Structure 1
Amino acid sequence: MFDNLDFSKMGAMFEEAQKHAKTMEEEAANKEFTAKSGGGMVKVTMNGKGQVVDIHIDPSLLEDKESLQILLISSINDASAMVEENKKLAATQMLSRLGGFGHQN
């Protein structure tokens, strides 16, 4: 099972993986994901950490609390889904980098 794995290099490989993970986390934090609902009447922007960094609400919605709530929930959920998809992509990329453990160079 571990025939081709050089255990003497594992420490360096894990250290490299940790550095790469930290870099990817920093890059993700700087990304922004914006979701719109109600034809753009509500826009929610989140950073890669899933924190809401901006909300735009069309002034016409301020008179209609129920519609505003529905559109806000929709936008927040959509932006959150974008953040989660980005996290999954980053994890997949990280795992593909680690996939070379069994290879000899």
Structure 2
Amino acid sequence: MKNLGEMMKQVQAMQGRMAEMQAKLEQATVNGQSGGGLVKVTLNGKGAMTALAVDPSMLKPEEKEILEDLIIAAHTDAKNKVEAMMADEMKSVTGGLPLPPGMKLPF
């Protein structure tokens, strides 16, 4: 039973590191852009959009569809960066232990 007790200590330590990581992610910001910087999006570490900047040259009625596409592309760029940041943080929290396929943390 000594191994079980040691494993429980490791799980509790990992839970503490997960809580720290989640707090850190809430404070982090990631920027994404598209159209050569015409559209810029800022997301927090949880993936929520906190800012959007659009170059004034894109504010023309005939550019509406292009602007919509650029906003989506900028958001996707930032979201990919958030996911990469989360993956790096998870590696440090789990000590490089591989998670079973399809298992995502935090739960």
| TM-score bracket for this pair, using the shorter chain length | 0.7 to 0.9
The one-letter amino acid paired with 2:67 is L
| Alignment RMSD | 1.8
| TM-score with structure 1 setting the length | 0.81
> How many residues matched?
95
2-side partners of 1:52 and 1:13: how far apart?
Answer: 34
Aligned 1:22-101 pairs, distance under 5 A: 22-63=19-60, 64-96=63-95
Question: Relative to 1, partners in 2 of residues 1:24 and 1:40: Cα closer, same or farther, differing over 3 Å?
Answer: same
Higher RCO structure (Cα 8 Å, ≥6 apart): 1
Q: Deviations over 1:13-66 (max 9, x none)?
A: 211110110001110111110011112111000000000000001111110101
Letter in 2 for 1:60: S
CA distance in 2 between partners of 1:72 and 1:98 (Å): 36
Q: Taking every aligned residue pair, what percent have the same amino acid on both sides?
A: 31
Deviation at 1:95, TM superposition (A): 2.1
2:93 counterpart letter in structure 1 = M
> Which TM-score applies when normalising by structure 2?
0.80
Aligned counterparts of 1:84 and 1:97: Cα–Cα separation in 2: 17
Amino acid at match of 1:76: H
Q: Does the CA contact (< 8 Å) of 2:91 and 2:97 recur in 1?
A: no
User: Residue 6 of structure 1: SS of its match in structure 2?
Assistant: helix
Letter in structure 2 aligned against 1:84: E
